[in-house]
Amino acid sequence: MPTEILASEPTIETRPSPTVVRRAESTVEIVSDSGEGAQKCGQIFGAVSAKMGNGVWTVEIIPAEIQPPPRIPEGASGIRIRVGTGPVTNWGDDTNLVVAFNEQVLLARHRLGALASDATILIESKWASHPDDDIQRAWQSALDELSTRHYRLILVPIEEQCLTLMDNPRKGKNMFALGMLACIYGRDMDRIRDQIAYAFRKKSEEIYAQNVQLLQLGFDWAQAHLDFRVDVPATPPSQPMVVMNGNEAIGMGALAAGFSLCAMYPITPATSASHYLGEKFDRFGGILHQAEDEIAAAGVAIGASYAGPVALTITSGPGLALKTEFIGLAVMTETPLVIVDVQRGGPSTGLPTKVEQSDLLAVLYGQPGDAPKVVIAPATIEECFHAMITARRIAETFRCVVVVLSDANLATGVQPFPRPVPDERWMQMAFDQDAVPPGTKPYDWDPRTGLSRRIIPGQPNGPFTLTGLEHDNRSKVAYSGGVHQHSSAMRSRKLAVLQSMLLPPTIHGDESGDLLVVGWGSTKGAIDEAVDRVRVEGGGVSSLHLNFLSPLQPGLREAFARFTKVCTVELNYSDEPDAPFITHDNRRLGQLAWLLRASTLVDVDCWTRVPGEPLRPAAIAEAIRSKLPQVAPAPNAPASARGVA
């Protein structure tokens, strides 16, 4: 492994003239101990790249603890930014360039197989000559471990450089790193300074000024010392674009949808959506209520929906579990409610900062009794925005609970998308305070559709008592079998009515073939990219992505019939088919696979993983090859394609 030590200032004569490598895409990671600002550095790099016209996808690498001990692989905190000439829909496979603040956090990424075998690594040099023998030994043993791959390791005196401007370089290294990346990738420094101003000026002018100096320091250092540049040409967008992460898109979508109340309780990885609302909601006339617990957050949202326009609650898996009884109440009383579940790894506290898609069945079937509800899953950052508008309109129109299933990948992922064109109709409040016409009942179910207009407190002639007990159309408590049968049918019928209004999902690739891959949620970009790769090799594979999980979009059985085999790809657990004791009959499947088998009676297979990170397209492509009947796996598939650790 070539190691370069570039600690001393080169003279003008020795300054290398840089080689410019032009690439259609490049993936960068910044990894550090927690609290060293790697994410902020990467967010700015990603946002500026997007603003310059590059396709971008970012994924944050977040340890579960706020302050894990320094210099341990488990504490690795960072961010991956995949930048492309065209649109980028997922975090890709291997990282090409790494900025690492110490060798232990770098090891974490190396061990996960996250780095390309020819990756360039810019690493803090101070550990190599650290006075502590233990650290020096750790450094040496890390270098030995890293030498199994052909990385290019460049030692950078990050702290030494930062110390020329500040006393505590821990808080400044990230801006130095950003400066280096700006130089390497030719990023627009004015735009970067704008982003720094946006992030730090509200803290203090002094911090802003210092960060700008550090940025310049990193830029100048790279200019003087690095012998390479990377050029990922940008494609100027043909329409106005915006760039944000998924939780910001959910928060802004909530504003666009006209929500006026969101009740929540802090939970990772959902909370940043509430942070966004906490900052903006007041100005829009909305209230972000931080309740005393998850249960109360659901209760406040339901109370608010009952008394006015539909309200919102935002949570993640464990919070969803606590809200279960209230969700049942909302279903039973047909009180509209929108719940955002930003999924993380489970069960229990599980993997709080890591992505997973394993709340689907809990959302659908988590309530005792029959509790039909609408479940939609955005697949992109753009869909996070629009899902909120769709969710509120469905909740109000169908007088029902709508769950928006996002996940940790979308939550922190940053991607540019076409600027939404706000529409007044999105924000319209169905808030009727006129007198109720004589004879109106609280549940005037249309016997065909199950739809009814709700009565809101304040409406004269309307008073009735809403109850979580089974009730007839007058909201009178009624336990007789006939009433329960009919009321259950009315609550359920609404889903069929909604389904009749949905379009069949479109198929990515040919309309028929050997294998149809079915996915949902944030995996769309990686699945489509994997399908494209295998199709280039001649594989007869297509993909289909579901936005609606309840009701399922129409036409699935017909679509499935056109393929020899159907297989879901999901970020949740399923038994490996060849594991001990596992048979075709007892194998536990991915959550969407269960659902599709039940609804289509097709023998749907699944390939699912719980790696605690997004799926990589190469791993999906390899799985596709193994599921395709006639095509042998590509002999030279990259190592990372053998599966995600």
Interacting residue ranges for other proteins, rule: CB under 8 A: 50-51, 53, 198, 237, 240-244, 248, 252, 255-256, 258, 260-261, 263, 280, 282-287, 289, 291-293, 295-309, 311, 325-326, 329, 416, 419-420, 422, 424, 427-428, 457-469, 476-477
Long-range contacts of 111-115 (CB under 8 A, 24+ apart): 111/73, 111/645, 112/613, 112/645, 113/639, 113/640, 113/644, 113/645, 114/29, 114/80, 114/640, 115/29, 115/149, 115/151
Give the DSSP per-residue string, 547-579: SEEETBPTTHHHHHHTEEEEEEEESS----TTS
Q: Report the alpha-carbon distance of residue 370 to residue 328 in Å, rounded.
A: 9
Instruction: Give CA torsion, residues 637, 143, 177, 414, to 10 deg.
Output: 30
Upstream peptide bond of 157 is cis (omega within 30 degrees of 0): no
Minimum separation from the CB atom of position 581 to other proteins (A): 41
Minimum separation from the CB atom of position 277 to other proteins (A): 12
Question: Judged by CB, which is closer to other proteins: 149, or 484?
Answer: 484
Identity of the residue numbered 602 = V
Q: What is the separation of C-alpha 194 from the centre of its chain, rounded to a whole number of angstroms? A: 26
Question: Judged by CB, which is closer to other proteins: 455, or 623?
Answer: 455
CA 148, 154, 155, 157 dihedral sign is negative
Q: Report the alpha-carbon distance of residue 162 to residue 44 in Å, rounded.
A: 19
Contact assessment for residue 424 and residue 246, using Cβ atoms and an 8 Å cutoff: no
Question: Judged by CB, which is closer to other proteins: 335, or 547?
Answer: 335
Question: Judged by CB, which is closer to other proteins: 424, or 585?
Answer: 424
Minimum separation from the CB atom of position 233 to other proteins (A): 16
Minimum separation from the CB atom of position 188 to other proteins (A): 12
Cα separation values, 484 from 298, 323, 480, Å: 25, 24, 6
Question: Judged by CB, which is closer to other proteins: 429, or 496?
Answer: 429
Question: Judged by CB, which is closer to other proteins: 209, or 469?
Answer: 469
Q: Are strands 513-520 and 541-546 parallel, antiparallel or unpaired?
A: parallel
Question: Judged by CB, which is closer to other proteins: 469, or 561?
Answer: 469
Contact assessment for residue 616 and residue 526, using Cβ atoms and an 8 Å cutoff: yes
Minimum separation from the CB atom of position 307 to other proteins (A): 4
Question: Judged by CB, which is closer to other proteins: 196, or 620?
Answer: 196
Question: Judged by CB, which is closer to other proteins: 305, or 640?
Answer: 305
CA angle 417–420–423, rounded 5-degree value: 170
Minimum separation from the CB atom of position 55 to other proteins (A): 11
Contact assessment for residue 393 and residue 421, using Cβ atoms and an 8 Å cutoff: no
Cα separation values, 408 from 61, 293, 445, 568, Å: 10, 21, 39, 20
Residue 510: CB partners within 8 Å, gap ≥ 6? 540, 542
Q: How many CA atoms lie within 13 A of 6 on its CB side?
A: 25
> What distance, in Å, lies between the first and last C-alpha atoms of the chain?
24
Minimum separation from the CB atom of position 480 to other proteins (A): 16
Q: Are strands 3-5 and 374-376 parallel, antiparallel or unpaired?
A: unpaired
Question: Judged by CB, which is closer to other proteins: 477, or 601?
Answer: 477
Q: Report the alpha-carbon distance of residue 195 to residue 189 in Å, rounded.
A: 10
Minimum separation from the CB atom of position 424 to other proteins (A): 5
Question: Judged by CB, which is closer to other proteins: 74, or 434?
Answer: 434
Q: Report the alpha-carbon distance of residue 447 to residue 473 in Å, rounded.
A: 11
Q: Report the alpha-carbon distance of residue 605 to residue 597 in Å, rounded.
A: 9
Q: Are strands 513-520 and 312-315 parallel, antiparallel or unpaired?
A: unpaired
Minimum separation from the CB atom of position 375 to other proteins (A): 22
User: Encoding tokens for residue 172?
Assistant: 């400044």
Minimum separation from the CB atom of position 399 to other proteins (A): 16
Identity of the residue numbered 515 = L
Minimum separation from the CB atom of position 435 to other proteins (A): 9
Question: Judged by CB, which is closer to other proteins: 60, or 382?
Answer: 382
Identity of the residue numbered 415 = Q
Minimum separation from the CB atom of position 523 to other proteins (A): 25
Minimum separation from the CB atom of position 257 to other proteins (A): 10
Question: Judged by CB, which is closer to other proteins: 1, or 477?
Answer: 477
Q: Report the alpha-carbon distance of residue 178 to residue 158 in Å, rounded.
A: 11
Minimum separation from the CB atom of position 193 to other proteins (A): 16
Question: Judged by CB, which is closer to other proteins: 124, or 248?
Answer: 248
Question: Judged by CB, which is closer to other proteins: 361, or 427?
Answer: 427
User: Encoding tokens for residue 106?
Assistant: 């770098």
Minimum separation from the CB atom of position 329 to other proteins (A): 5
